[in-house]
Amino acid sequence: MKNKGLGRGIEALFADNEINENEEQVTEISIDKLHPNPFQPRTEFDTAALDDLAQSIKKSGVFQPIIVRNDDSHSKEYQILAGERRYRASKLAGKETIPAIIRPISDEQMMEIAVVENLQREDLSPLEEAEAYATLMDKLHLTQAQVSQRLGKSRPYIANYLRLLKLPREVRLLLKADKLSMGQARTLLAIKDEHKLIKLAHATVANNLTVRQLEQLINSENKSKASQAKPRTKKSPFVHDAEQQLQDLFGTSVLLNASKSGKGKIEIDYSSNQDLNRILQILNIS
């Protein structure tokens, strides 16, 4: 079983509302009155798994209530906070109602709950996990550090996943289809030339290269380039370590050039306006 290990799960997010679960009531709500979570980052549901769940519901009903909120305080329409699979399967099973718990949840909490529920899926791919973190940062205007704190993950862990979103679309599709592993994808990020990166990604899949073999290929290529290039001044361990820490902080490539006089410059890569805004938020620049 795949364990996501989230420090703060859905239960913790619901607990933020200070609701006493013993006082909550399970209500049968008409299927026709329910609507999917508009902030749900998950758009694809396994058809076979839904069919299996629908058969189970036909036979035994829904054991665990879904959680919903009122669409509007003056209406009887509801949005699903947690349990969309049970809702979809119940529709397939021909059910007219489904057991539910109604909770007062804000848009921000609803979005966070949807993303965390998505993160707790056992079949979540590395790219989907990265997209979930990016959604929290973009929609809730959070920094990597804030996402790390909310989810109980280390900041470098979040940064490493977000870096996957910098891969070319063709390579991201290979990762999403589980043809590339997280380790292979991270290793490929060392290649700056997009054309070569895509070519090596396909070669990795075709030849079933291990991460170690991929590293050796890339190192060999880099050494070959280095031997043809002009000699560079070797960076001190301090500068190299500072670069690494800055890359972990910003979740992107950072180049630190320092001269003997003590002067220098820091170059921070960003891939889009959205990525630039993310970096500016980390620097507390509005």
Residues marked as catalytic: 84
Radius of gyration of the CA atoms of the chain, in A = 23
Q: Which of 124, 126, 45, 136 lies closest to 92 in space, CA to CA? A: 45
**Torsion angle in degrees (nearest 10) through CA of 99, 103, 107, 111:** -50
**CB atoms closer than 10 angstroms to residue 166:** 18
Distance CA 19, CA 49 (A): 32
Residue 256's H or E segment, with its range, is strand 254-258
How far is CA 166 from each of CA 50, 266, 279, rounded to the nearest angstrom?
33, 20, 14
Q: In this structure, are residues 164 and 172 in contact, taking their beta carbons and an 8 Å threshold? A: yes
Residue 273's H or E segment, with its range, is helix 273-282
Q: In this structure, are residues 147 and 129 in contact, taking their beta carbons and an 8 Å threshold? A: no
Return the exposure string of 32-71: e unless at least 16 CB atoms fall within 10 Å of the residue's CB, then b: eebeebebbbbeeeeeeebeebbeebeeeebeebbbbbee
